[in-house]
Amino acid sequence: MNILKPRFWQKKSNIFSILLWPISLIFLILSIIKKNISSSKSFDIPIICVGNIYIGGTGKTPLSIFIINEIKKTKKPVIIKKYYKEHRDEHELINERNAPLILDKNRSKAIIEAKKKGFNVIVLDDGFQDHSIKKNLNIICFNNRQLIGNGMLFPAGPLREKISSLKNAQIVVLNGEKNEAFENLILGISKKIQIYHSKYIPLNIDKFKNKKLIAFAGIGSPNNFFEILRTNSLNLQETLAFPDHYKFTQKDLETIVNRAEKNNCEIITTEKDYHRIKNYNFKSIKYLELKLEILNKDQFIKQIFNFL
């Protein structure tokens, strides 16, 4: 979705959400109809779905890569993503992490192709709302800074479907600080859900310390990236937020570079954004390398293998 998320999506009660609610209701009715007329197809290969109900910025792709790299020690897994031309940055990031990837506009066709190529575990990066495929395991991602926002469905809020849909999930991964109230809300929907916590560990943070920085990001939730920088005590002079999968132009980047030079700053962005702009060859633009860490990692991996 090539828009910046509106701020009212995080506000519990506001006039914009109220005005947009009738449209959300139409989307809800259409999604219920689509779900009821969809026939769920089973495949004789284990399918793990890493999805979300909050639109963008929940960390599905990093978690998919993490899972692949753990289970490929004993299995032959592959990530499957629905093909979108504008998501090339995510495709390159997955490839750089040595995670096998199959893209197709039809996920079922991609699963059939994966079987033909000898893969024996499927990790769907997104697809929780795709009811045409029966999954063995549903893992839903949240970021603790957004959680479910105002709790309303798109476009009145940031949710792709109601939080009650978590009854179809077995695992929830919360990125960030623990939130007891939200975790109790999840367990109120289903006590069978196992909740895990994750965090991002910066790998090259030292090269940016004691420097004035301009940070920019065109990801699902740019503020999550900026908060990582602030949490690590980096000297942010300015932050520039762009829509998810934003297609940067030469002029966009020249403007950022000129602004940095004028203010004697260095430039930092996300690794995902860097993959989108690297062909422009701006040497002054650097990116922050992040590693995803799962608390209780051994228990998390064990539960995945139990479902496999």
pLDDT for the residue 2: 63
DSSP letter for 2, please: -
CA 147 to each of CA 51, 55, 57, 203, 232: distance values in angstroms, whole numbers, following the listed order: 14, 11, 10, 26, 22
How far is residue 103 from each of residues 47, 199, 218, 235, measured CA to CA in Å?
16, 27, 22, 39
Q: Provide the residue type at 250 as one letter.
A: Q
pLDDT of residue 36: 86
Nearest to 139 by CA among 181, 179, 194, 192: 194
In one-letter notation, the amino acid at residue 154 is: F
Residue partners of 232: CB distance under 8 A and separation at least 6: 202, 205
Q: Please, what is the end-to-end C-alpha distance for the chain in angstroms? A: 33
| pLDDT in single tens digits along all 308 residues of the chain | 467 899 999 998 899 999 999 999 999 999 999 888 888 899 999 999 999 999 988 999 999 999 999 999 999 999 999 999 989 899 999 999 989 999 999 999 999 999 999 999 999 999 999 999 999 999 999 999 999 999 999 999 999 999 999 999 999 999 999 999 999 999 999 999 999 999 999 999 999 999 999 999 999 999 999 999 999 999 999 999 999 999 999 999 999 999 999 999 999 999 999 999 999 999 999 999 999 999 999 999 999 999 88
DSSP annotation of 167 reads G
Tell me the Cα Rg of the chain.
Answer: 20
Domains and CATH numbers, the chain: 38-200+293-307 (3.40.50.300), 204-288 (3.40.50.2300)
Nearest Cα neighbor of 303 from 134, 126, 139, 183 is 139
Whether residue 263 contacts residue 211, with contact meaning beta carbons closer than 8 Å, is answered with: no
Sequence-distant (6+) residues with CB within 8 A of 181 are none
